Structures are given as structure tokens and as C-alpha cells.
Chains A and B, each alone.
Chain A
Amino acid sequence: MQRYSGFGLVKHALRHHEDWQRQWRNPTPKPGYDVIIVGGGGHGLATAYYLAKEHGITNVAVLEKGWLGGGNTARNTTIVRSNYLWDESAALYEHAMKHWEGLSQELNYNVMFSQRGVLNLGHTLQDMRDIQRRVNANRLNGIDGEVLDAEGVQSLVPIMDCSKRARYPVMGASWQPRAGVARHDAVAWGYARAADALGVDLLQNTEVTGFKIRDGRILGVHTNRGDIEAKTVGCVTAGNSSVLAGMAGLNLPLESHPLQALVSEPLKPVLDTVVMSNHVHGYISQSDKGDLVIGAGIDGYNGYGQRGSYPTVEHTLQAIVEMFPIFSRVRMNRQWGGIVDTCPDACPILSKTKVKGLYFNCGWGTGGFKATPGSGHVFAASLAKGEMHPIAAPFSIDRFHSGALIDEHGAAGVAH
């Protein structure tokens, strides 16, 4: 792998940038691998990378039906935080946060992780009580957090309407300074390049159409490019996970919904943190290019269409203008949708299944981007050892029958 550096940039500039190495190969599928990862989003690519890097398992293929990162990974609004309420989820997301903090160095790829802080606003007394409880829980788990009053919020975000005249006045917020944003497609590309360098085959335009299962054990997958064998298969297919599970005769407690986002025309720097509001329901940050990155809730109906309804866009922008009247005349540039795999308790599923050797990593719903490095890290360990990693273990699919749910609904502020 050609390493990236400032010096390298100068050297290539002198050669008119004509001999940069391709970031990854485009191999033809081998007849079999030790491990197959289905889904070339951030979580799948990270899993492949850590399998090779930390467990020495390099005979690995990532099968992606489209292009790398073309799913939710490069469609999200890039918010990264770890201030979840319950111990299990706090451990998982904080595990990811620790990885984020060294990720650009680890991958030799600038993922533009920017710890500009995240505010979760409170607009009612109950909001403020929940915020207090969550920040206390976070601190007990060693996760940074502060409770701010309206004045504190106003001093961090001078352009926000924190006045008493607002329709839903801001009463305060939780503030996680270590939280922030990262460039989502760079995360997929960085993991892809690093995994490829360690020998992982990244197979794009390769769609899994069925599983080869004998006596309750996985033997491989059927694809549009032929059959590929593997005794360990990890499905990391987000909104399409129910379809994949169906191919193995399994049922997952997931519903796939459209989730939309939009970006504005580029503006001069005006917002240097991330603002989320559960109550008026919208969230916003400003990218390094200057565009406002905006999102809100899912479209309520099930959908696999990677697009959403206009009323949802309208509600989202109403919420943003409510908080930021200054943006009322900003024009929007682009709008798109992803398919999010929502779980009844708003927590992911990292689990073995009834089929030996077949694992699922899904259910991240509207908020899995932030978990990418941690999810890949613990899922790789689980695939390598054949036993779920202790951080992943509570997220087993069994919890929907045992009742040991990890209810992050509402508790974690907006679910992104």
C-alpha cells in the first residue's frame, strides 16, 4: 500500500498527480474464503479490516451488491457521539468513540473526524430531567457530558433562537464535547483500502441471492457471480437484512424505513457544532464545505425505495427554521434517502443465529454510523473466535424472547 503523507502529496504534485496507486484491487471471486462478509458498507468493511489486522484472518471477501459505501454509510448525516443511557449501549458506542479518536492514523486515511461537540436540546421540563439522568449515567460510565442551561447553549451557538419568544423555548441541553462528525465516504474508503492491503478481496457488483446450508450449518453463498464457499458468513446489510435473513429461513425483529437527509447550498462558516433536538425533531451541522447538513425522523411506513415523502422534508425544515430563523431563506441543494433497519428497542443486533456459522450485524437503524469502528471491531472478534465479544453479547437476538431489551428509545435523545 502506498502510504499517504504531506511529503507524498508534494512528490506527486511534481509528477502532475499522474501515478497515484489505485486504492484497492478489483479481484475476481475465489471459489471459497475463510470468512465472507455480506455488505460493503462501513460496518462490513471495518469487520473485514479488523479480521485481517487483529486476528490474522486474511482469506476474507466482502460481497457488495452495488458499490462500496453506497448504502447508508455514505447517506447519513455523519453525527458521532457516545452519550447513550444504558451501560450496554454506552459501552458499545464509547468503544467506537475510542477508535474514532485514532482512526485517521490507524488507517492512514483522513476520515476528517472533527470533535466539534454535540448538543441535545431540551425544550420541556421532562426533557431536562431526562438529560440530567442521561448525563449522570454517562459520567458514571466515564463518558464526557455536561448539562447546560439556555444561556450556556446560547453562548455556544449564538445564531440559535434561545429566546423565550420561541414557540418551544430552549431550556438547556446535554453537551458532549468529544462528539462530532466525520466524513462518511472516507470512512468506507479508508477501511476498504486498509483491508485490501492486508489481502481482503472486495467484490463489488456481487449480490448474495441465497445461502448454502446443510444440517443447520452454513457452507457458502449463492451470488450473481456464482457460488462462493465459506464456513463463516457475517451479514452486515442494514436495511436489507430481513431479506437476507429470509433467504436463510430466519426472521429478524426489524422494519425497514426510508430515512432522508438534505444539504443546503454552501455558506460561510456559521455553525461550528452539531445541534440536535428531539422535541422539535430536527438536527443540523455545517460541513467543512460549508453546506448545512440536515436530517430528522424516518418516514413512518415500511419502504425499501431509498427515497422518502415530501411531508417529511417539510417537517424537518420547519424544525430547523424554528431553531434557526436565520436559515429561513437558505436554499437546499440535494435531498436523498437511505433504508434504515429499525429495531423495537432502538439498539442493534450483533448475534449468532440458528444456522451455525451465520452471523448478523444489523438493526443499527437511524444511528449506526457513529458505531462503525466499534461495531466492526467487536464483530470481527466474534467471527474470529466463534463466541460473541463481551461488548457485543448483550445485543443478541435472543433478547426479543428473553425480554432483556436495551431500551434506548427516547433515552438517547434523537436516535441518530
Chain B
Amino acid sequence: MFHIYCPYCEEHREEEEFHPKGQAHIARPEDPDACSDEAWGDYLFFRDNPRGIHHEMWLHAVGCRKFFNITRHTVSYEILETYKMGEQPTVGAEHLAREEKTAREGKTDSVQVAEGGQQAVGASDAALASVKGAQA
């Protein structure tokens, strides 16, 4: 059960009072008629789906009925911050990576799980990637 701080009510309330409403900070294309099919499809259907930090909109449905934003970890489900509409998050993926790094360096006996863990290989960086792959 989440215990969520509503930035408008300025109180912690139970999850039951809220509804998740999906990814936050999606800007509607300024001129939809000028959009390519690609851009319009991306806007309508493609959402960030990270295994990690996620910025999302929630509705305080049976409270103040206002929308606001939450930064949440999608594996631990930890809520890292809540903030009003129109505001920007202060916690991001970079922030968390930094924290994890500090935590790791603090523990000298920990196994090295760092960079090898996730090798995100972009299609556009393909040539470069395969060189790296061949060396590994």
C-alpha cells in the first residue's frame, strides 16, 4: 500500500484515494496537422517504460481531485518525490546512478556489478557496439 504525499493537500494519504494516470511531462505536438505519422504515433502510443526511475502523473481522485506528479522507482516502488503540475522533477535517473555509485564505492568488498550489467546498445551506434562486443 502506497502512502502518498499530495503536494496540494500537503498531507500523506492512502493509495486508495489516488489513481495513477501514466507518464508525466508529455507535451502535445504544437501543430498536430503538421506531424508525421511517426511523430503522431509516438505521441499517442509510445511511453517510457523504464525499469527504474519513472516520472508519472497521479490524480488525487477522492481528495482535492487535482493532478500532480510523482517520481517513483518501478522495481522497489519507492516514491522519491511528489511535485505539483508545471514543476520539474529534482530526482532523475542520473541522480540515482550517482547515489548507487557512492553506495558501491563505500562498500569495498562488494562484487563488481557495475558497467557490465546493462549494455544498452543503440542501433545507430551499431558499428561501434559490435567492435566493443568483439573485444569483450
Residue A243 CB within 8 A of the other chain = yes
Once bound together, how far apart are the Cα atoms of A242 and B45, in whole Å?
14
A209/B119 in contact, CB under 8 A: yes
Q: A277 CB to closest chain B CB, in angstroms? A: 21
B51 touches A216 (CB 8 A): no
Are A309 and B38 neighbours in the complex by a CB distance under 8 Å?
no
C-alpha gap A227/B133 in the complex (Å): 8
Q: How far is the CA of A354 from the CA of B136 in the complex (A)?
A: 25
- 9-residue interface stretch from A15-23, A251-259, A264-272: A251-259
Interface residues of A in 183-218 (CB under 8 A from B): 209-217
Are B129's CB and A256's CB within 8 A?
no
Chain B residues with CB under 8 A of A302: 20, 49, 54, 56, 74
Does residue B41 face the partner (Cβ distance < 8 Å to A)? yes
Cross-interface CB contact of A209 among B74, B116, B130, cutoff 8 Å? B116
Given A227-B133, A304-B51, A309-B15; A210-B121 close (CB under 8 Å)? yes
Q: Which residue in B75, B116, B126, B136 is a CB contact (below 8 Å) of A304?
A: B75
Choose from B51, B56, B133 the contact partner of A220 (Cβ within 8 Å): B133
Asked if B117 is at the interface (CB within 8 A of a chain A CB), the reply is yes
Q: Does A250 contact B (CB under 8 A)?
A: yes
CA distance A43 to B77 in the complex (A): 28
Set of chain A residues within 8 Å of B37, measured between Cβ atoms: 401-403
B: interface residue count bin: 35 or more
Q: B97 to chain A: closest CB distance in Å?
A: 15
C-alpha gap A344/B41 in the complex (Å) = 11
Q: Is B16 an interface residue (CB 8 A)?
A: yes
A251–B76 alpha-carbon span in the complex (Å): 23
Known: A227-B136, A309-B1. A303 touches B118 (CB 8 A): no
Judged by a CB distance under 8 angstroms, whether A330 is at the interface is no
Query: Do A355 and B123 touch (CB < 8 A)?
Result: yes
Question: Are A254 and B127 interface neighbours, CB within 8 A?
Answer: no
Contacts of A222 in B (CB 8 A): 119, 133, 136
A24 to B120, CA, bound (A): 32
Q: How many residues of A contact B (CB 8 A)?
A: 43
B1's contact among A254, A311, A402, by CB below 8 Å, is which? A311
Q: Is A301 within 8 A of B116, CB to CB?
A: no
Q: Are B76 and A305 interface neighbours, CB within 8 A? A: yes
Q: Output the least CB separation between B124 and chain A (Å).
A: 6
**Chain A neighbourhood of B136, CB < 8 A:** 222, 227
Within 8 A of B (CB), among A390-416: 400-403
Does A209 contact B117, Cβ atoms closer than 8 Å?
yes
Given A302-B56, A304-B74: A215 and B116 within 8 A (CB)? no
Given the contacts A300-B20, A309-B2, A249 and B124 also touching, CB distance less than 8 Å: yes
List, in ascending order, chain B residues with CB within 8 A of A400's CB: 41, 44-46
Question: Taking the nearest CB of chain B, how far is it from the CB of A172, in angstroms?
Answer: 31
- Interface residues of B, Cβ cutoff 8 Å to A: 1-2, 15-16, 19-20, 22, 37-38, 40-42, 44-47, 49-51, 54, 56, 72, 74-77, 116-127, 129-130, 133, 136
24 A-B pairs whose Cβ atoms sit less than 8 Å apart in the complex: A210-B120, A210-B121, A211-B121, A212-B121, A227-B136, A242-B49, A249-B120, A249-B124, A251-B42, A252-B46, A253-B46, A255-B47, A255-B49, A256-B51, A256-B74, A301-B56, A302-B54, A302-B56, A309-B15, A344-B45, A400-B44, A400-B45, A401-B41, A401-B42
The 8 A-B residue pairs whose C-beta atoms are closest, nearest first, are A210-B119, A249-B122, A214-B130, A401-B41, A242-B49, A301-B20, A249-B123, A212-B133
What is A's interface to B at a CB cutoff of 8 Å?
Answer: 209-217, 219-220, 222, 227, 240, 242-243, 246-256, 300-305, 309-311, 344, 354-355, 400-403
Seed contacts A256-B51, A401-B41; 8 additional CB < 8 Å A-B pairs: A220-B133, A227-B136, A242-B51, A252-B49, A256-B49, A302-B54, A309-B2, A344-B45
